[in-house]
Amino acid sequence: MPPLTALAGAAAVWRIRQTAAGRRRDNARLAALRITLAEFDAIDDRRFEHALRDLLIRDGWPARRVGGGGDQAADVIGDHAVLGRIVVQAKHTRVGGKVGSSVMYAVKGTAGPAHRADHAVVVTNGFLTRDAMAWGDRHAVHWVDREKLRRWAEDGAALHEFLKLPARSRSRLKRAA
């Protein structure tokens, strides 16, 4: 084997090992991920969306941040093999801020038609109005307020477990295949 070929092969093996080691480090970091409410309060909107994406990944949802102009009420989208697609609308507020019903209407109106979601969730580091929570409960828009966010981010509870998200429906499974 010519020396150049052997060197290229060794470099490729080294690169593969480095990539695998990096993935193991990233997976270990995400598995241990805990974020306090004080940390959420201190970050900006974009970092809030990235943190929610990381928490979904920790919980087994391959997820990506999609928020920004024209996001159609979706800041993070995750896809789970059994549970289906989740669309998260992130509402980062100042401490004590409230999220109203209009956010719930927007998420409900776009989660299914625009994003093919099985689950729609509004997450805030603040609070939701009583009307927003009641409307979400009636119309299958899940919500995570400050207390639920603490359980998810600080305590490490899996989002889909404490929201009791059902598995994707059979009709959705057929359409996704």
Does the pLDDT at position 18 exceed 80?
no
Give the Å distances, CA to CA, from 163 to 5, 25, 54, 159, 175: 54, 29, 18, 6, 24
Q: What CA–CA distance (Å, rounded) separates 137 from 104?
A: 10
Give the Å distances, CA to CA, from 159 to 59, 135, 156, 174: 7, 20, 9, 25
**pLDDT, mean of residues 35-60:** 96
Angle between the 3-31 and 45-58 helix axes, to the nearest 10 degrees?
A: 100
Instruction: Please state the pTM of the whole predicted model.
Output: 0.79
What is the predicted pLDDT for the residue at 176?
Answer: 44
Q: What mean pLDDT is reported for the chain?
A: 87
Spatial neighbors of 129 by CB under 8 A, at least 6 apart, are 98, 99, 100, 101
Rounded to a whole number, what is the distance in angstroms from the first to the last CA of the chain?
A: 46
What is the predicted pLDDT for the residue at 91?
Answer: 97
The residue behind tokens 């600080």 is: 154
Does the pLDDT at position 38 exceed 90?
yes
Contact 114, 74 (CB under 8 A): yes
